[in-house]
Amino acid sequence: MTAKTFNTEGLSSRQPSNLGRHLLSMIRKLKSGEFRLYSRKKDAKTGKRKNLGTFGSLAAAKKHERAVQFFKKQ
């Protein structure tokens, strides 16, 4: 197997590239088949991420994540 390498020249560490944008998404698939949306930042006290909802489909979870990001920026 060969390791994939990515050209990171010119990318700012503060702004994610489209390449790594999926890494910021905190949607995880549960054993039950549902998808759970978690907070991007960990809680300082517990060290865990907040549960922002459980959804039946990935599309529904992504839609809710966009809504969360929209209201966070207001």
Q: What is the pLDDT along the chain (74 residues), one digit of tens a residue?
A: 555 554 555 545 555 555 445 445 689 999 999 999 999 889 999 999 999 999 999 999 999 999 988 988 88
**Is the model's pTM score more than 0.75?**
no
Is 41 domain-assigned? yes
What's CA 63's distance to the chain center, in Å? 12
Is 52 domain-assigned? yes
| Total domain count, the chain | 1
Check residue 56 and give its pLDDT.
96
Residue 30: domain span: 25-72
Max distance between CA atoms of the chain, in angstroms, equals 46
Check residue 31 and give its pLDDT.
95
Other C-beta atoms within 10 Å of 43: how many? 10
Asked if residues 35 and 43 have their Cβ atoms less than 8 Å apart, the reply is: no
Asked if residues 37 and 24 have their Cβ atoms less than 8 Å apart, the reply is: no
